[in-house]
Amino acid sequence: MNEIFTFFNANLPCPPFSKKNWSIDAISWFKDTATTYIDKMRDLTMILEENNLIVSVLLTDKPGMILYEDDFQIVSQNRTY
């Protein structure tokens, strides 16, 4: 599992959560084109589920107000989730 976190930390840009006044209802997800990151997240999901942790995948076509976006991910404010 540390290998997956190391990969994300080394390769994925970190949204500026600490520099912004984003409320608790900000959500983030990968763009469908970020297949490498999605595959790594699926690997992490399998590890978590093997350790009896519940993992949910949310899909929406109404993400709410976009707060941050880069080539791989989006952070938005969405009161639904």
Instruction: Kindly indicate the confidence band of residue 51, based on its pLDDT and cuts at 50, 70 and 90.
Output: very high
**Cα 60 from chain centroid (whole Å):** 14
Alpha-carbon gap, residue 77 to 45, rounded angstroms = 24
Please answer whether residues 68 and 15 qualify as being in contact, where contact means their C-beta atoms are separated by less than 8 angstroms.
Answer: yes
| Structure confidence by residue, pLDDT tens digits, 53-78 | 999 887 777 778 888 999 999 998 87
pTM of the model: 0.81
**How many CB atoms neighbour CB 21 within 10 A?**
4
Q: What is the pLDDT of residue 60?
A: 77
